[in-house]
Structure 1
Amino acid sequence: MGKIPPPGRLYAFNGLDAVAAGLYLGLMLFAAFAGALLAPLLQSLLATQAAASYAVNLAFYASVGIFALLAAHGVVARDLRILATRPWFTMAMVPLSVVAMLVVTAIVVTATGQARASENQLGIQSLIQGVPAWLIVPLLVLVGPFVEEYIFRHLLIGKLSGRVNIWICCALSAVLFAGIHVIGEEGLSVQAMVPYLGMGAVLVAVYVWTGKNLMFSFLVHAGKNLLAVLLIYALPPQFFGA
């Protein structure tokens, strides 16, 4: 096995971090504000709107994910080794953390009023209903969660906290995580962000609680997404008003 670099190097910003973060932000902003320009072309090339949406999301997350994995491979290797030394803890705490996420989100939604479904949420539901599970799971359960945990936990907390107070980094991580999922909506509202704020808060908590373990927060994020995917496939389209 290769030698893991010392912690100081693992949490130092590097050129690949800049490429991955810049690509993520640039593509996200383009999709939010200019993505409609590509929609007619994509729909003419692909059979359905769901296929076009899947192709865009796959290209987006795969391109960012390659640079993210290259930039964070040392942390990924270290964190997997740590989790492998305590398998029972991992197998117990990942599902419990997913349950905690659902509970916290429900509490936040109740405290702030009924949450409004975001365009992102509605788009994911439509995507899952129009694309086979064997294509959806790699995107929404593996690649997507890894990219988001790399950006919002590893970079914004793990690395940025070396320069900025960690509690500021945690707040920034949760708020930006929620905001990026509703960006581009007309009249950005707190109601649309509420479910993502609850989700982001729990992911921040488990990341910090496990000593900045990127792979643990990834497993929790992936577990929540897997649960959502299974529920959408299991429930009839009429349940969502389709």
Structure 2
Amino acid sequence: MVAPPDSDGARSRAAHIALVLFVGLYIVVFLLKLLSLAEIPSGDSALVNVAVYGTLLLLGAVAFHRELARAIRRVVARRGRAALILIAGLIGVIAATMLGGWLAAVLLEATGLWGTPLQNDLIIGRATKAISPFVLIPIGGVIGPLAEELMFRQFLIGLIGRRAPTWAAVVVSGILFGMLHMSALTLPEAINVIPHACTGIAFGALYVASGRNLCYSSTIHVFNNLTGLLAPVL
């Protein structure tokens, strides 16, 4: 049974069940990779993707409805402060991603692997050509990143933080977030996901620094994904 992190006392039975289903489905879809968006270009299969990703987001929202409601209330109550946090967070995420990109480039050059692409980037490139924008943009640009934030920030940082320092929870969840983008356990893949891991760590640091408010990291994550997808689609 999955332990409910970041709860205010006893979590409701429905929320606890939703949490277990959310984590289980996430593992099946992303870790075991039993359903790949890139392999489903059109037709009924695309509808299956929408259903699965939508279900993930719905389960996550039910599981963490108290935390999310509290986070939204805090943002609405202090909109000026929220805007400043978003700006600072965006700058921090960009800086962390650039640092990760520089480190990956140095390591690829040092190991003679320069020019070896990350397979996840190639898959996304093919998906932008094969899948309708009406499917790709909602899933890859909005639903996907929101589900990732619920999993890696809201759930994992809380879970790991029960047995380790907060900074360790942020780093571990960020590294796991980076590894999610690996297609194989190879050296080129490991080096190429460093920018993703650094981005994940930055998201985690923002989440913790904002008082564990998922609104900020989620907003920036959605913004990043949308800008990355809209350019090739348009």
TM-score (norm 1): 0.76
Give the gaps of 5 or more residues in structure 2: 1-5, 109-115
- C-alpha displacement of 1:56: 5.6
Q: Take 2:222 and 2:131, find their aligned partners in 1: how far apart are those partners?
A: 19
Distance in 2 (alpha carbons) for counterparts of 1:126 and 1:98: 28
| Aligned equivalent of 2:143 | 143
Aligned 1:48-197 pairs, distance under 5 A: 54-55=46-47, 57-113=49-105, 116-182=116-182, 184-185=183-184, 187=186, 189-197=189-197
Q: Deviations over 1:7-58 (max 9, x none)?
A: 3446xx9332222111111222442xx558xx5xx67xx46xxx95x55643
TM-score norm. by structure 2 comes to 0.78
Shift of 1:90: 2.6
Alpha carbons of structure 1 residues 95 and 192: separation in structure 2 relative to 1, 3 Å: same
**What CA RMSD, in Å, does the superposition of the two structures yield over aligned residues?**
3.0
Summarize the Cα distance change of 1:97–1:84 in structure 2 as closer, same or farther, 3 Å threshold: same
* CA shift in 2, pair 1:174/1:186, >3 Å: closer
Structure 2 partner of 1:237:
none
Structure 1 residue 154: deviation in Å? Answer: 0.7
Task: Sort the Cα spacing of 1:25 and 1:146 in 2 relative to 1 into closer, same or farther, 3 A.
Answer: same
Whichever residue aligns with residue 118 of structure 2, its letter is S
Long gaps (5+) in structure 1: 235-242
> Shift of residue 219 of structure 1?
0.9
Asked whether 1:7 is paired with 2:40, we answer: no
The more displaced of 157-166 and 189-198 is 157-166
After TM superposition, list the pairs within 5 Å mapping 1:210-225 onto structure 2: 210-225=210-225
**Mapped contact 1:95–1:220 kept (Cα < 8 A):** no
* Contact 1:158–1:212 (Cα < 8 Å) also in 2: no
Structure 2 contact 104–195 (Cα < 8 Å) conserved: no
**Structure 1: distance between partners of 2:228 and 2:217:** 17
Matched position secondary structure for 2:211: coil
CA distance in 2 between counterparts of 1:216 and 1:119 reads 29
Provide the rounded CA distance (Å) in 2 between the counterparts of 1:97 and 1:177: 18
How many percent of aligned residue pairs carry the same amino acid? 23
* Aligned position for 2:20: 18
Contact between 1:98 and 1:223, CA under 8 Å: does it hold in 2? Answer: no
Give the residue type in structure 2 aligned to 1:7.
D
* CA–CA separation in structure 1 for the residues paired with 2:172 and 2:205: 13
Q: Which residue does the alignment assign to 2:113?
A: none
CA, structure 1 residues 139+173, in 2 after alignment: closer, same or farther (shift >3 Å)?
Answer: same
TM-fit CA distance, 1:195: 1.8
Residue 218 (structure 1) shift? 0.9
Q: What is the CA–CA distance in structure 2 between the aligned matches of 1:141 and 1:27, rounded to whole Å?
A: 17
Distance in 2 of aligned mates of 1:104 and 1:122: 22
2: CA distance between counterparts of 1:195 and 1:121? 12
Mark the CA change 1:72 to 1:192 in structure 2 (over 3 Å): closer, same or farther: same
Which stretch of the first structure deviates more once superposed, 204-213 or 222-231?
Answer: 222-231
Distance 1:125 1:9, change over 3 A: farther
Corresponding residue number in structure 1 for 2:112: none
